[in-house]
Structure 1
Amino acid sequence: MSKLRIASILLIISTLLLKFSSMLRDLVIANYFGSSHEADAYLAAMIIPNTLILFMLTGMKEAFLPSYYKYNALGKGFSHLTNIVKGTFWISLAISIVGMAVSPFITPLVYPKAEAVDVAVWTAVIYFASVFLVGINAVYEGYFDAQKKFSFSTFSQTSVVLATIGGTILLHDRLGIYSAALGYFIGTVISFLIKLMYLKPGKFMDWKQPMDRKEVSAFYLIFLPVGLTIAVGQVNLLINTIFSSRLEEGVVANLNYAFRLVNIPQAIFGVTIATIIFPLLAQAKTSNDMELFKKGIEKGLSFMFLFVAPTVTGMVLLMKEIVQVFYQRGEFDATSTALTSEYAVYYVGSVLFYSIQAVIAKGFYTLEKGHYMLRIGIISIICNIIFNAILVKTMGATGLALSFSLVGFVYSAITFSTLYKLSGGFSLSYVAKEYGKVFVATAVMVVVLLLIKGFMLSWNVYVYVAVMMVIGAVVYFAVLFLTRSQSMRELVNIKQFKRKASEGR
């Protein structure tokens, strides 16, 4: 079995563990706190520091990998790692201190309700305290990705989520929802210690090496636009939270639960496929082979749609039952299930559009055109504010979910058309052909599921969802096989994919 296939399988497995552990975290919070003011305050308050956390985590991976490769080719990879770690230490420490200091002033702007504003403030303080170690963890996760140890990076993030779950379960009686925030903080410490023990202190960095300020500054000039671009989605979530926190109790929490649920396909398939094709795009850039670059984007878009399209379609058909399976227990009642299901359906469009964007983004970063993404991201933020203002008045909370999907469409459409022009154009006929086969297979799957759905409505909801998922998957892939989907065949044979990407379709 090839190293690429092994790495891909491990990445998919570790990503699945990360996303389902994240789902379990939300399930635990929903179980203990439901759609209460306390849950609203916690979820609203964590948005601001979480924007910075994702800015560091994801942005660092995108920026550090090519930077490390460049210095490593000169024999200075370890020295570069040391410089970035030391520089990030001071930057992250400053962000943590400033964030904790200003939390009492900025958090009420996001969550102004007096019922739980103190919960919001202290949640933000605890999360900002975590930013200090998150920054350092981010550098090493970028380093592990550069070493093609993708799964280790993902597993280290999983340890943070598991600590959040553990803290909530063990301490919710005594600390309330602060238990979740404290668990997250402990998780960042555990994640750091895992990396330190794995690398050993001597290979962690060169402790005696003076920090090269010019090298650190040069890196952050590259990192900032990349990180800001990555944070665009989180900024849009912040905007949605500001609007939703002005509505009735439970809206913030239920919108969050809905978004987290439908986001699973994007995080598993969209992000994973984008990560897998990144080395191929980097290879194309290094060899100045634009045809290979184009084929990499085309394959990435085809592979992504192959998995995302049937998944989100199936979720729409079974949304209420899926929400019931995941969330309905403890403090999360049938009313919360109905509202969360409704919001989730309106969020579905964003899954497809942001999955497309995840693949396209790799193309911009490979071509060192990340500033285009930042400009387009700013446009999407402006659109989100306008859409939110209009739709929240006409549709209420569901309008906020629909707004996110509309913004995703605008974002992906502009990024795709821009990269299309920059690269000289992709083979739209190839992509359309593969998308057409996926559409046919998905349509057949929907028809079959609708035909059998009425016969199983009286079944236990867990059995019903499981059986429908299995039948849907079997029908879908059977039709893909009959339509001779090239994307499916290439995914089964990674070596064939690599050869065809290099030699032409």
Structure 2
Amino acid sequence: MSSKKSRSLLSAGLSLSFFTLCSRILGLVREMTKAAFLGTSKYADAFGIAFMIPNLLRRLFAENAISVAFIPTFKGYLEDSDSSEGKQTIHDFLSATITLISFLTTCVVLAGILLTPLIVRIFLDNDDKSLLAETTILTRIMFPYLVVISIAAFFQGVLNGVKIFSPSGFTPVLFNSVVIAATYILTPILTGNIEDSEVKAQMAARAMSIGVISGGCVQALFQLPFVLKTGWTFHFTTLKKAFTNPGTRRVMKLIVPTIIGMAAYQLNDVVSTALAGKAGTGIVSSLQYSLRLQELILGIFAVSIGTVILPDLSGLAKKEMWADFNAMLIQASKIMALISIPVTFFSLVCGEEIISLVYKSKKFSDESVRLTLVAFRMHIAGLFFIALNRIISPAFYAQGNTKSPTVAGIFGFAVNIALAVAVVTFRNDGTGAGIALALSIASFANTVALFIFLKKNQNLDVKAVTKGTIFYSLKLIVFSLIAAVPTFFVRNALNPVFAGRGRLIDFGVPVFACAMVFAIAGVAMLVITKDEIVRVIIRKFKHR
């Protein structure tokens, strides 16, 4: 690869990482908007469940089909696109694909809208008729999102196939912006002069739902001009041609085997949400607020580390440079530990202030803070294992092994569901703590399974990877505990001083001050011990 192409690829990767980070931040702002208008009310639960249903289908089929099946097939066709016959083949393939996507998703949406009253009963207590009715309305509003977002995924596949990434990377930013704007603009219009807080929350949930379907349309429409600029045209064709096209048949053959593994991973959300919905009001939304904070933390560092370090794994595996591969894997695992373990301890100390700073307003009461905090403490306990899985799984993919991460994912799913069911059945305390803890334990089980499967590769020194990761993690746990002590006392001293001065000062100043104290103590210990990973990170970013 020439240096010019390398720079272009790096630029595209950094651009995509930037848009991903912006999307995560706006996703948090979207949750802050939801918290302000809905809190942890039953309407927040209704919206969370209603949005999860089409969103699950999007992740399972649209994203899976595009990444696993469509793009590889499209790229195969592009290699033979020089001739007029090759161009016509691509045109027919794209036309058949857009027809198939539109037809199948429309059928699913129509069936889903008809069956919505039965579907939502899976997730909610059947005794609350008003909640069932409102969740049914919101689900029916958002179900068509599946059609437009699947078309948007198709456009993304075309663009990514010709190595254009930025437009697709920017669309989640647009989506979150539209949802936020729709909530603020439409809620007063739908509410009118009604002052009843219950009605306001109900209308806000509907406004957000309208924002979701509008945001999906914007995601598709925004990419269309960029797709047309590529020169590849398409149109709707007959269903017979769509189903019999060799390209679409190849796509369907490629996607079916991967759906099982993907389904196991995605069903974690479904079953956890179903259990939470039956455990009490506010638990679904509190778990979602907690997970959004965790996703932001993961997004900030996981994307950056992936951009700078992980692409090297594929190159080393291809060259069979297993010693370097092993060293890179140990290094990447330690970097994840260096960031996620201190973040975990800081979040445990200042979790209440962080949640209050981000979410507390209007409908998000002290009870909402309490519900979200107990879930957040359990979720954050699994942060390191989730982060580590982001490193170990690509190590398998770099070797062309997709089976092992899939089996590990299914095992983690089984552990999560078994523990969550046990908690809700035998020890339901009216919070989402048990369900959140089940997910963290399942992430640990997934990590253990990945390390066990890693041993099958005779070229890797798995013992060195395991030993290096464990000992480095223990060192960081000790450092984090030491740094947490002064942070805890500073927190307790500052909270009364700044109380009652507005949310930003009330919670923002203590969080910032505590973060500085924790960071100074932690960095000081790393510098004193001459930590090698800190030097590696600095050197990597300097070279980029």
TM-score range, shorter chain: 0.7 to 0.9
Given that residues 274 and 300 in structure 1 are in contact (C-alpha distance below 8 angstroms), is that contact kept between their aligned partners in structure 2? no
Partner residue of 1:323?
355
Partner residue of 1:10?
15
2:274 corresponds to 1:242: yes
Partner residue of 1:466?
512
2:215 corresponds to 1:187: yes
Q: How does 1:101-116 map to 2 (within 5 A)?
A: 101-111=114-124, 112=126, 113-116=128-131
Q: How does 1:203-242 map to 2 (within 5 A)?
A: 203=231, 205-207=233-235, 213-242=245-274
Given that residues 262 and 312 in structure 1 are in contact (C-alpha distance below 8 angstroms), is that contact kept between their aligned partners in structure 2? no
Counterpart residue identity of residue 114, structure 1:
K
Q: State how many pairs are aligned.
A: 498
Counterpart residue identity of residue 332, structure 1:
F
In 2, Cα distance between the equivalents of 1:485 and 1:56? 44
Q: Which runs of 5+ in 1 are unaligned?
A: 499-505
Residue 41 of structure 1, aligned match among 46, 51, 54? 46
Shift of 1:271: 5.2
Counterpart residue identity of residue 406, structure 1:
I
In 1, Cα distance between the equivalents of 2:15 and 2:280? 43
Residue 384 of structure 1, aligned match among 401, 416, 426? 416
In 2, Cα distance between the equivalents of 1:475 and 1:227? 46
Residue 21 of structure 1, aligned match among 18, 23, 26? 26
In 1, Cα distance between the equivalents of 2:406 and 2:36? 38
In 1, Cα distance between the equivalents of 2:469 and 2:409? 28
- Decide which moves more: 304-313 or 209-218: 209-218
Partner residue of 2:442?
407
Shift of 1:330: 0.4
Q: How does 1:51-200 map to 2 (within 5 A)?
A: 51-56=56-61, 58-60=63-65, 62-63=67-68, 69-73=75-79, 75=81, 79=90, 82=94, 84-111=97-124, 112=126, 113-145=128-160, 150-173=165-188, 174=190, 175-200=203-228
Pair 1:43–1:452, CA change in 2 (3 A): closer
Counterpart residue identity of residue 157, structure 1:
P
Pair 1:181–1:367, CA change in 2 (3 A): farther
Pair 1:447–1:178, CA change in 2 (3 A): same
In 2, Cα distance between the equivalents of 1:493 and 1:193? 42
Given that residues 330 and 469 in structure 2 are in contact (C-alpha distance below 8 angstroms), is that contact kept between their aligned partners in structure 1? no
Given that residues 437 and 480 in structure 1 are in contact (C-alpha distance below 8 angstroms), is that contact kept between their aligned partners in structure 2? no
In 2, Cα distance between the equivalents of 1:208 and 1:188? 20
Given that residues 441 and 477 in structure 1 are in contact (C-alpha distance below 8 angstroms), is that contact kept between their aligned partners in structure 2? no
Deviation string, structure 1 residues 91-129 (Cα, Å, up to 9, x no partner): 333333332232222112212332311221122223321
Pair 1:71–1:316, CA change in 2 (3 A): farther
In 1, Cα distance between the equivalents of 2:58 and 2:225? 23
The 3-state SS of whatever aligns with 1:99 is helix
Shift of 1:196: 1.0
Counterpart residue identity of residue 266, structure 2:
Q
Superposed CA RMSD: 3.4
Deviation string, structure 1 residues 428-477 (Cα, Å, up to 9, x no partner): 53564466456545643542342144243333321111222244334434
Given that residues 329 and 395 in structure 2 are in contact (C-alpha distance below 8 angstroms), is that contact kept between their aligned partners in structure 1? yes
Shift of 1:227: 4.7
- Decide which moves more: 276-285 or 232-241: 276-285
In 2, Cα distance between the equivalents of 1:43 and 1:486? 44
Q: Which runs of 5+ in 2 are unaligned?
A: 1-5, 191-202, 499-505
In 1, Cα distance between the equivalents of 2:364 and 2:542? 48
In 1, Cα distance between the equivalents of 2:417 and 2:396? 25
In 2, Cα distance between the equivalents of 1:425 and 1:287? 14
Pair 1:208–1:143, CA change in 2 (3 A): closer
- Decide which moves more: 249-258 or 477-486: 477-486
Pair 1:245–1:435, CA change in 2 (3 A): same
Partner residue of 1:502?
none
Pair 1:312–1:189, CA change in 2 (3 A): same
Deviation string, structure 1 residues 275-320 (Cα, Å, up to 9, x no partner): 6656434445555655565555444433333322222222111100
Pair 1:36–1:439, CA change in 2 (3 A): same
In 2, Cα distance between the equivalents of 1:98 and 1:338? 39
Q: Taking structure 1 as the reference length, what is the TM-score of the superposition?
A: 0.86
Given that residues 33 and 39 in structure 1 are in contact (C-alpha distance below 8 angstroms), is that contact kept between their aligned partners in structure 2? yes
Given that residues 58 and 227 in structure 1 are in contact (C-alpha distance below 8 angstroms), is that contact kept between their aligned partners in structure 2? no
- Decide which moves more: 151-160 or 189-198: 151-160
In 2, Cα distance between the equivalents of 1:278 and 1:92? 35
Partner residue of 1:501?
none
Given that residues 196 and 204 in structure 1 are in contact (C-alpha distance below 8 angstroms), is that contact kept between their aligned partners in structure 2? no
In 1, Cα distance between the equivalents of 2:488 and 2:65? 45
2:301 corresponds to 1:269: yes
Pair 1:403–1:434, CA change in 2 (3 A): closer
Pair 1:120–1:99, CA change in 2 (3 A): same
Counterpart residue identity of residue 358, structure 2:
F
Pair 1:151–1:214, CA change in 2 (3 A): same
The 3-state SS of whatever aligns with 2:279 is coil
Partner residue of 2:378?
346
Residue 257 of structure 1, aligned match among 289, 304, 316? 289
Given that residues 117 and 132 in structure 2 are in contact (C-alpha distance below 8 angstroms), is that contact kept between their aligned partners in structure 1? no
Shift of 1:135: 1.7
Partner residue of 2:486?
451
In 1, Cα distance between the equivalents of 2:538 and 2:104? 44
In 1, Cα distance between the equivalents of 2:98 and 2:315? 26
Pair 1:275–1:125, CA change in 2 (3 A): farther
In 2, Cα distance between the equivalents of 1:481 and 1:328? 37
Given that residues 349 and 408 in structure 1 are in contact (C-alpha distance below 8 angstroms), is that contact kept between their aligned partners in structure 2? no
Counterpart residue identity of residue 318, structure 1:
C
- Decide which moves more: 79-88 or 154-163: 79-88
Q: Taking structure 2 as the reference length, what is the TM-score of the superposition?
A: 0.80
Pair 1:100–1:364, CA change in 2 (3 A): farther
Counterpart residue identity of residue 116, structure 2:
S
Aligned residues with identical type, % of pairs: 19
Pair 1:375–1:446, CA change in 2 (3 A): closer
Given that residues 437 and 483 in structure 1 are in contact (C-alpha distance below 8 angstroms), is that contact kept between their aligned partners in structure 2? no
Shift of 1:323: 0.6
Counterpart residue identity of residue 115, structure 1:
S
The 3-state SS of whatever aligns with 1:203 is coil
Given that residues 273 and 359 in structure 1 are in contact (C-alpha distance below 8 angstroms), is that contact kept between their aligned partners in structure 2? no
